[in-house]
Structure 1
Amino acid sequence: MDQAKTNETQDPAEVDRIIAGELERLLDSPMFTRSPVLSRLLQFLVEHRLRGGRSSPKAYAIATEALGRSEDFDPAVDSYPRVMVGRLRSLLDRYYADTPWVHRLRVPQGSYEVVVQYRAAPPSARSADDPAGDDDVKTAGAAGRTTGRGGVVRRAPDRGAHFGRWIVVLILLALALFTLWTLRGGDRLFVGDPVPVPLLEVSAPAAGNLPQSRALARALDGKLRDGLRRFDLVDLLSSKAPGSAVTGKSDYRLDTSLVRTVEGNTDVTLVLNRVADQRAIWSQQLRLTQDETPEFTAIEPLIAQLAGDYGVIVRDQVQRQPDNFSPGFPCLAQFNRVRQMRNTANVKQVDACLRATLKANPRDPVTLTALSLVRYGDWQPQRMTPAGREAFAEARALAQRSYESSPNSSAGMFAMARANFYTGNCAAGNAMGDAAIALNPYDADMAGFLGLFKLTCGMGPEGELLLRRSLQLDSSYPGVPAVTLAFTLSERGDQDEARRILDQMPSPSNMEPQYMMVRAIVQARQGQVAEARAQWQRLLAYTRQPADATPERVLGRFIITPVVIQRASAALRDSGVVAAKAAP
């Protein structure tokens, strides 16, 4: 039986040693690493205990010393310490539920004191090879071979009747397969149903009992739901209509809390939990001013980072199942992994699983849009070849199918926007792109590429705003939008901001040819000509071009639009990265 023993029944020095050791293990665990606020709170409570505090610390001390509250914090009107200690209890329970333990840390209900709970041995895992189960099987087998009840010998089964029953079963199975073939179509008979996108439950925000706190909680809940429902790779549990075919069990749960400070600020904490193993896989905390509520625009980047094309939920799928290319959500997750990580090795697998998804669901706009983009990627390096022209034609046809299948979806609209831009139809591309952004203003990827397209079409101010919006929403995988913004700023003379954007770009974005080109231009304009020319040499090696290759030839290897090639080539010459054109 588990017991939480007190200091009087154990050696105090031994108890302190156990507490210190458990604290170290807890803080090193992924669960607590992802929860910096609760880690800091646990460390404070433990240090209070180890310093000789034999009674619970006060709520005021917890708030001001562990949770960052100001000195005028009033625990009589603000329940923040109690709320956070309650969350700490839950996190401790989740950690120890997955970890065999002989002793564990606990914060008893109604107290802020850390105590040690003991038990005799770690919980034993139930073996799949249960000896008792084997005995039962053996006993049943022996009885079948000897006698029945009362010692009467059982009759051997009639082999002819047994064979006849199997014939009937096979005939019925053949009829069922034929019926399924007719209903689904022969080419789809053995195509499994695509794996659906994850189901996300958004818990009601925990807040105080004051009317203003409850009003802010409702506004926060509405903001989160409004943003998350706009993304295609996550489905809200609450958005399902009554009676729809949903099990009701979510894959992820988003817990939120809201605490108002004495100064009038609002602290918002978001924790994403994976329901299958009750693990917190992501958490963020924001302090919002009065001007930022009740609109809660400051949490828009968190919405994008959670549910975006390569957001927390998609990355969790890829990290847990890196080799899963099953039709449906796993395939779409791999598609976005290839896009963001620039890993071309898996393009063929992604192409195949997207086509398998479309066999089962030929009108899915998200999959059609993804496959269209894959084919545009096939077209770019072989634009002047028959294979390139074939890829381009299929890419545009897939975009058209996506739009026709779902003309009111952001996926379908943006697929057609891209197709129109690639054919030089700026008017149609802008109209479709603007409509797609209106449907999902939280999509960083869509904002970035629409900004790039607008710049190409000569709409500089609008394009720059969208590029900045893209980086504001999610700068973790910035890619081409960030490089384009840096180039725009450099052309305008703002080399310092352009350099800051480039310096903040993570791998693999900072290994792309567009990055090398723009960095060389910015370095040269900052007076670092030698470094800029070394960067150009790396770009020549990357594109496998000779040392005397013209900028137009080099840039044509990875840039599609002639006007962009012309502008970038002029910048390379004007900045001194490459030699100016010889006079005619």
Structure 2
Amino acid sequence: MAELHGTTDDRNEGDASRGVDRTLSAVLASGALGHSERRAKLLRYLVARETSGEGDKIKAYAIALDVFGRDETFDPNSDSIVRVEVGRLRDGLRIFYGECTDPDLWTIDIPKGTYRPTLTPPRVEPVSPPQPAHLNRWALIILPILVVLPLLYYAMRPAPAPEPTAPYPVLRIAVMPFEAAGDHPNLEKVAFGLYTELSLDLSAYPWIAVVSPLDPNEIGADYALKSQLLWQGDNLQTNSQLISLPEERLVWSKSYSIPTTVEHIQDTQLQITSGIATSLGSENSISPDLIVARNARNSKPNLEGFLCFISTYRYAVEPTRTEHLRLRNCLEDAVDAFPEFGEAWAALGVLYMDEVRFGRNPRPGHDSWAEARAAIDKSLELAPLRNAPLMAGVVLSVQAPVQDLERARQLGRKLMELFPRHPPTLALIGSLISEFDGRWPEGHDLVQQAIALENAPPSGFFITPAFFAALQEDDAAALAATAPLTTRTSETELLLKYLAAARNGKTEMMAEQRVLLAQKDLSSDADLVEFVKNRRFHEELEASLTSQLEAAFLVKADE
């Protein structure tokens, strides 16, 4: 067996080979990689090349051809399959070792920045040398004490919780956007909102990882959930099918025909998620206590208020001033008519923050931060376990004029506990603790987990990696990190692309970004500096960005 990359173990090769093989079998059998044969094949390939002495030949091109069946035209710059799948494999290994209790297993790791694994043998505790004979008389005195103290400790402490017999499998469900038809005037927003809520409800189960791929088979999802929505007048018809992949076996299916009332809609949402969880739980031997319905809603607005709230999901993806104004008005009406509607209070608080954060429809004479805090505090009181209030609370704690990072950490921990595999939650928490709390390794890792869970991650998921690259000295890497930033209406993304272009002397790209920034009311150099300072990033990031802005302004002056 070849020398193992990254280890200094001096055991014989036979023992090492058996140890690695046993570890590989344990990882594959644990369920930590889901039911993806693609990830299993990738792990076997990486370990085999490393143990055969060919670890230095593990490159993206070789993986694409040998594992994923790409041809010689493969280009890692336009095809992200290797980067994405290795990221998911890192996530699976992290899950496995986080739950592993076997001290005799090797550690398989794929460090960031490389596709080559490191194989580290289990730690062997040193054996104490024999004690000199003249110390034996002390043993007669000390030994009874060493025996009695543990007995007293174990007699007085509470009984430990039983260890789980095996880690539960993590199942990847590709939740597809609703296929919608009908005569409702806001059908597209309604369908997107219901699809988002279904994804959120499923992600509350800790053994389900929800992804939103364009092609479920392309990322090796275990299941695909397809839903149809027909809305005509006062009738709503839905049909959902859960299909196992890649064999495309129908696992669960249900159709509903219901009146268009909030009570019936939310009850149907609960029936869909509970039905899926029960079916999958039974098929995969999930513990019954992990299958119970989680985080049920308890507010009952009218249909207009409910539709206003779920429209905010689309606004979060495609924010505009017009939609901001419409939603602010209808949410104010909703909470006025239904003051117990906790999630609507949270959404309203976010819109109030956007008045200040992004200058959307400011109201003269209003203290937007104070009103945002009051609305979000109300939402956390009414709906403390729902995603919208918790996420709004984290954002407020970090970005309000008086930061409360400890509160942000508390709410973030609650979010991670309730929605451990929800990509937007991972991305939000990761971005905030990186950019505003300065905990880059931890935050960047969470964002990478979010990216790995999605086949086509939204552009905003890549903001934190771009900020992280902006802090480094590698100009080319800083530019490459902005390539996935494609939202031309995001001030932050445009700023990052502008700075990266300046660092690499790309004046034409700089000019293009300045035009787009000017369209967002950031036309002057002073506007850009003020924008960065108003964001109130961590001091290290703010100092770096303002310094780079000053350098970029000089590049423009030399044109």
Give the shorter-chain TM-score range.
Answer: 0.3 to 0.5
Q: TM-score, normalised by structure 2?
A: 0.44
Larger Rg: 1
